[in-house]
Amino acid sequence: MLIHLVNPNTTRSMTEKAALAARAVAAPGTEIRADESRDGPASIEGPYDGALAVPGLLARIEAAIAAGAEAHVIACFDDTGLDAARALSPHPVIGIGEAACHTASLVADRFTVVTTLSRSVPTLRANIARYGLAGRCAAVRAAEVPVLALEEPGSDACRRISAEIARALAEDGSEAIVLGCAGMTDLARALSREHGVPVIDGVTAAVVMAEGLVRQGLATSKRGGWASPAPKAWIGRRLDQARVEA
């Protein structure tokens, strides 16, 4: 089974970290093919970055369809471009944000999300509400760590995340922690040991969900908002519509 893991920002080290985590949980026989956007911001912090990352993301989705991918995982906790990608691809598409939150609700009555910057909080809160899990999410907290600080070896990012987790457990009544950024994927196990609660990473959560959908023969329903894009006139730069229609 070929799973396409796409990082919607343009920072390759994040792609590599996510791919490593994905391969560590993939079942025997699953191949993870990871790439990142070639067109957009180096990190996604807030809705402006997120919106401008989508065309580059969709180009990678399209390329992966052509290359035989059977499912896609979008490796940004904002679930950047998830609806558009579901419309575009005939295969299952999983966002790491939704995957992490659904997974957390299987091991905890209430969980807290710890993300990078407070400017991402409203987007995450809105996503979680839309998925239906607002009642299971005690809080969305920001450790005030810029996304790319997670890529710098000497930064205090991990320490700040751990401190925010400690506050969450003390104040929110949470039973588990969801790490709110793809760049935190390598921290989950150590933070879980440190704090004695499940710590969920969205990349691994999404990979096993994507595998599971493929094995069940399930793909995105095309009956509603995720119907394939309708053919129409376009002006200016655009994705290769012909390939989409094929």
What's the token pair of residue 12? 């390759």
Beta carbon nearer to a second copy, 163 or 227:
227
What's the token pair of residue 28? 């025997």
Backbone angles phi, psi at 6, to 5 degrees: -120, 130
Q: How far is the CB of 167 from a second copy (least distance, A)?
A: 14
Beta carbon nearer to a second copy, 25 or 63:
25
Beta carbon nearer to a second copy, 67 or 129:
129
Q: How far is the CB of 159 from a second copy (least distance, A)?
A: 22
CA distance 243 to 232: 14
Beta carbon nearer to a second copy, 56 or 183:
56
Q: Compute the radius of gyration of the chain from its Cα atoms.
A: 17
Q: How far is the CB of 206 from a second copy (least distance, A)?
A: 10
Residues 6+ apart with CB under 8 A from 20: 186
What's the token pair of residue 83? 């609806």
Q: How far is the CB of 40 from a second copy (least distance, A)?
A: 7
Backbone angles phi, psi at 222, to 5 degrees: -105, 15
Three-state SS for 132? coil
Q: Using CB atoms within 10 A of its CB, is residue 170 exposed (0-12), middle (13-18) or buried (19+)?
A: exposed
Beta carbon nearer to a second copy, 153 or 196:
196
Q: How far is the CB of 207 from a second copy (least distance, A)?
A: 8
